[in-house]
Amino acid sequence: MKIRFALPPGPVSARALAAPSAEAEALLSRLDQNSFKPEPEEVLPILTDKGWRVLVGIGERAALDDATLRRIGGNLFAELAQAGIVHLAVGLDLSPEQTAQIAYGIQLRAWRTPLKYRKTPDEDEVWHLAEITMLCDAPEIARSCFARLESVGKAVHFARDLVVAPGNVLTPPAFVEALGDIPGIELEVIDPRKAGLNLLQAVGQGSAYKPALAVMRWRGADKKDKPAALVGKGITFDTGGIDIKPAKYMELMKGDMGGGAAVAGTLMALAARKAPVNVVGVVAIAENMVSGRASRPGDVVKGYGGLTVEIIDTDAEGRLALADALAYTSKELKPSKIIDLATLTGAVEIALGYLRAGLFTTDDALAARLLAAGEAEDEKLWRLPLVDVYDDAIKSEIADLKNCSWERGPDHIHAARFLQHFVPDDIPWAHLDIAGTSEAMEDGPLAAEGPTGFGVRLLDRVLA
């Protein structure tokens, strides 16, 4: 899908195109008789005797912020992609900056599961809409605004492509390879067995594929500036291991690397727009499988920092893999701060649903920045308590910690407290549990049902 920016045709200005014309008035009154009221952000295509006309509800002008504009763009694309329209001209009475935000919304929504996984696409899957021309009074300004946004949008698409990829396609080595292909990013691949990342090794040892710790670097600022670190859970498939998951919906666990995909996407976006920051992205990559070499419940494993963990449940593997990634990052990469993202617990999905990710941190300033960025980007967070009251739940009789508890309790908080043991107190750290938000259960304005790429836009904004 191509998005162009142009001046409105002939002497007609964008303002005139957007102004209520006699034709539009007539349409609206006809719709009114049918008790249709265009709601803000609603898009209504109408086939008239003069061809297609599209009504767009923009609501109160004063409330027209960037997030609203993007949602309008997304809805516009969703309504029109399959309507039979091939080339759409959009003339709204908006500034070039606002026009670029509409275009960004269109781009974000214009992703779908790659058709390469089918022999032939279904008839009703065809997107007719091939080209959109955004009309405004200063198209070159809109174009340059969009160029920056578009690079983030491409990174969101990249993250979604990774999440949707089946477990037999995005295996651990394939994931490593995909990370190595990000333009402008340096990749270092660490063998967990050689480096003493024994928890990550324990998670991956049942698989035919070797686990890996991927370290990606973007240097956009002074060499002396400490990098911000992003750490992602990259379980390419989570069977649960010996504590195997129920069959129903297990296939969704191909997306258990959504945190790693968000980290990779953010680095892609930062490099594409040459952001003046230093960032390291660390992804703990493994496949959690069942086999004669898989970890057993009750195994005790010494993690990278020296703490030992009793593996109570092999299905609580994400926190094991992340623990080593966090300890390694803290010790070896000297970060200014750490933000980790993981599809970590079913519990957070129950607590917060699909519209907000869980935020755990002891750093109020970092919390404020993350929460604000989440609101601005429509990647919303909700802060949850990182408190010691449940610590007994992860005390082990034999090791320093156990990875979960069989008792009823808030597993998302247990998991966050578990992770906290692997980050020294003097490094500001935040943990985002994105198990509910990494994939949408229904269509939304910026993403259809399926992978959302949650985290890329949020982190891009926080690091910018």
* The entry of ligand BES, Mn ion, Zn ion, none that residue 435 binds, CB within 5 to 8 Å by partner kind: ligand BES
C-beta of 306: minimal distance to ligand BES in Å? 24
324 binds Mn ion (CB under 5 A): no
Q: How far is residue 300's CA from residue 333's CA, in Å, rounded to a whole number? A: 27
Q: Could you tell me if 282 and 230 are in contact, meaning their C-beta atoms sit under 8 angstroms apart?
A: yes
Distances (CA, A) of 294 to 168, 192, 265, 290: 19, 15, 31, 6
C-beta of 356: minimal distance to ligand BES in Å? 15
Binding track over 213-252 against ligand BES, x by CB under 6 A: -------------------------x--------------
Which among 69-77, 196-204, 308-316, 455-463 is the span making contact with ligand BES, rule CB under 6 A?
Answer: 308-316
Q: Is the dihedral of CA 117, 122, 125, 131 positive or negative?
A: positive
107 binds ligand BES (CB under 6 A): no
C-beta of 379: minimal distance to ligand BES in Å? 17
* The entry of Zn ion, ligand BES, Mn ion, none that residue 283 binds, CB within 5 to 8 Å by partner kind: none
Which among 13-21, 67-75, 290-298, 339-347 is the span making contact with ligand BES, rule CB under 6 A?
Answer: 339-347
Token pair belonging to 144: 């340059």
| 248 a catalytic residue | no
The residues that touch Zn ion, with contacts defined as CB under 5 A, are 235, 238, 256, 318
Q: Could you tell me if 202 and 310 are in contact, meaning their C-beta atoms sit under 8 angstroms apart?
A: no
Interface pick for ligand BES out of 161, 317, 378, 379 (rule CB under 6 A): 317
Q: Which residues of 278-295 are buried (b: 16+ CB within 10 A; e: fewer)?
A: bbbbbbbbbbbbeeeebb
Query: What's the start-to-end Cα distance of the chain, in Å?
Result: 28
298 binds ligand BES (CB under 6 A): no
411 binds ligand BES (CB under 6 A): yes
Distances (CA, A) of 197 to 200, 252, 315, 321, 449: 6, 27, 18, 9, 36
243 binds Mn ion (CB under 5 A): no
299 binds ligand BES (CB under 6 A): no
Q: How far is residue 391's CA from residue 385's CA, in Å, rounded to a whole number? A: 12
Instruction: Check 245, 302, 369, 383 and give the catalytic one.
Output: 245
Q: Is the dihedral of CA 395, 396, 399, 401 positive or negative?
A: negative
Which among 75-83, 207-215, 259-267, 344-352 is the span making contact with ligand BES, rule CB under 6 A?
Answer: 344-352
Q: How far is residue 456's CA from residue 310's CA, in Å, rounded to a whole number? A: 33
Instruction: Check 70, 319, 380, 457 and give the catalytic one.
Output: 319
349 binds Mn ion (CB under 5 A): no
346 binds ligand BES (CB under 6 A): yes
Q: Could you tell me if 128 and 85 are in contact, meaning their C-beta atoms sit under 8 angstroms apart?
A: yes
Token pair belonging to 53: 């006309």
Q: How far is residue 335's CA from residue 308's CA, in Å, rounded to a whole number? A: 24
| 319 a catalytic residue | yes
Contacts of 379 (CB under 8 A, 6+ apart): 357, 373, 437, 454, 455, 457, 458
C-beta of 393: minimal distance to Mn ion in Å? 17
Interface pick for Mn ion out of 238, 287, 310, 340 (rule CB under 5 A): 238
Contact positions vs ligand BES (CB under 6 A): 238, 256, 313, 315-318, 343-347, 349, 404, 411, 435
Contact positions vs Mn ion (CB under 5 A): 238, 315, 317
Q: What is the set of active-site residues?
A: 245, 319
